[in-house]
Structure 1
């Protein structure tokens, strides 16, 4: 790996050149001029750069950005969604203003931030939660986490094994390119592959509609859609999925969503965007997209 000399623009002034360092290749590709930064001619830009979690970036961030820009049309916002670790790394090296995260930073990430003089500010914006659903005619109303894992990975293939009728289980899951497909696999399946007997759907509504028509199906959807009378939400280890159980942290299939900033580099654009997201208008959009609003 080569030694590389790089410079980064931080805050309202240019930073000094970083020391010669051995940097991982992905970090050598980190570029951009985050908000309130001086451009080459010394002019301050109105650009806001957000990088990080695909759970936030797939649907939620684009909606929040679009709504925010209605009130702040002069602010340019760039969004790049890959992973929480990617956002935190970019924030550490001054290549984004906000790191979108679907988990808290690891001990190593906190240490790495500290080594770069970065003190994180954390803002909870809501939660991503998934409810397991069945047809209302299905007698199964509660499952353990282990049973859910075994059903969706194909270890359990008949309803009789978990208190239902002697019929085959049919899985209804999101398409493989969706963040939800991977998110549920991580939260509920311990990252094991899905069972082979499944149907793929492009959205939660399609999953709920399929289950409403077939008593042998099981799938998942957002908490809000799970309250429909056309489907029945399954309790997990005796805990029913709801806004209350998610915000209390007792319902297992959820992730708290956060935005992280570098405390020393919070521009006015950053403050305005975060204030919008956690206020009533922003939280309305969080709710409309099926996420759980912040406590």
Structure 2
């Protein structure tokens, strides 16, 4: 099985009947008359929500198959625009030229912070923006300078198609340099694994992916918590989008409506994001 891809249940064939947004969270009754395959790709921050929601829907309606792939925001936008998938997830708003080129309709269902993170054994718990910029530019290279061990700082970053990288680059680095020797990882999950295994590493990932295996750093005295993201105090934040080519129909419409349902909002909050209703 390829990394980042989950194939989750049975049967094919598309259904195009409209679905009410008034979904019952207990048993997903709105999906009962539907069947077919729904394909989703793109931003990796979205995957925990996508997986949980898809599992519940397919348990309630075995005639539905939902396939979820990562690949980054740029890939999600491109694939939905080219008709390869029905929903393309992105951790950034598609650019105006992308919206115009592909006829995209944007569905923003959560707000997410992007946390700068390190191994939990690292004694450094806070940075200034100037220090962070110097680290990623490659001019500040030792943890000792920051009160940590006398070891080199190992940089981790995402590839250019990542919405997480785009937000980090713009809002944390002010579009500053990311050193060419930084280690590339392909997803939020891969970033967490890399930092959890490297006591001298530094990287960035969705606040929703923070747990005991990685520590989020305060930036200019503000910690990457959900409360601070929600209040706007923590400014390294972005919307999470599920984009469709034109107005969503059939299973895509039902799935997006499910994200805005009470149960969908519960799942979003449980995965560490701030739900956006409607």
Partner of 1:88: 77
Alignment RMSD: 4.3
Partner of 1:276: 258
Query: CA contact under 8 A between 1:34 and 1:49: conserved in structure 2?
Result: no
More contact order relative to length (CA 8 Å, sep ≥ 6): 2
The 1:55/1:192 distance shift into structure 2, 3 A limit, reads: farther
Deviation at 1:150, TM superposition (A): 2.9
1:204 to 2:183 alignment? no
Query: CA contact under 8 A between 1:50 and 1:98: conserved in structure 2?
Result: yes
The 1:173/1:93 distance shift into structure 2, 3 A limit, reads: closer
Query: CA contact under 8 A between 2:91 and 2:238: conserved in structure 1?
Result: yes
CA deviation vs aligned residue, 1:5-55 (integer Å, no higher than 9, x gap): xxxxxxxxxxxxxxxxxxxxxxxxxxxx984269xxxxx962222233344
Q: Give the TM-score, by structure 2 length.
A: 0.62
Number of residue pairs matched by the alignment: 237
CA distance in 1, matches of 2:62, 2:132: 46
Give ranges in structure 1 of 5+ residues lacking alignment: 1-32, 39-43
Partner of 1:10: none
Deviation at 1:207, TM superposition (A): 4.1
Query: CA contact under 8 A between 2:86 and 2:245: conserved in structure 1?
Result: yes
Larger of the two Rg values belongs to structure:
1
Partner of 1:132: 117
Q: Which SS does the other structure have where 2:38 is aligned?
A: strand
Deviation at 1:277, TM superposition (A): 2.9
Q: Which SS does the other structure have where 2:56 is aligned?
A: helix
Structure 1 residues 1-295: aligned runs within 5 Å: 35-36=14-15, 46-57=36-47, 59-113=48-102, 118=103, 120-127=105-112, 129-133=114-118, 138=123, 140-152=124-136, 154-162=138-146, 164=147, 167-171=150-154, 183=164, 187=168, 190-194=177-181, 204=192, 207=195, 223=207, 233-264=216-247, 266-286=248-268, 289=271, 291-295=272-276
CA distance in 2, matches of 1:83, 1:160: 34
Give ranges in structure 2 of 5+ residues lacking alignment: 1-11, 18-33, 184-188
Q: Give the TM-score, by structure 1 length.
A: 0.59
Deviation at 1:259, TM superposition (A): 0.8
Q: Which SS does the other structure have where 2:130 is aligned?
A: helix
The 1:106/1:232 distance shift into structure 2, 3 A limit, reads: closer
CA distance in 1, matches of 2:84, 2:16: 11
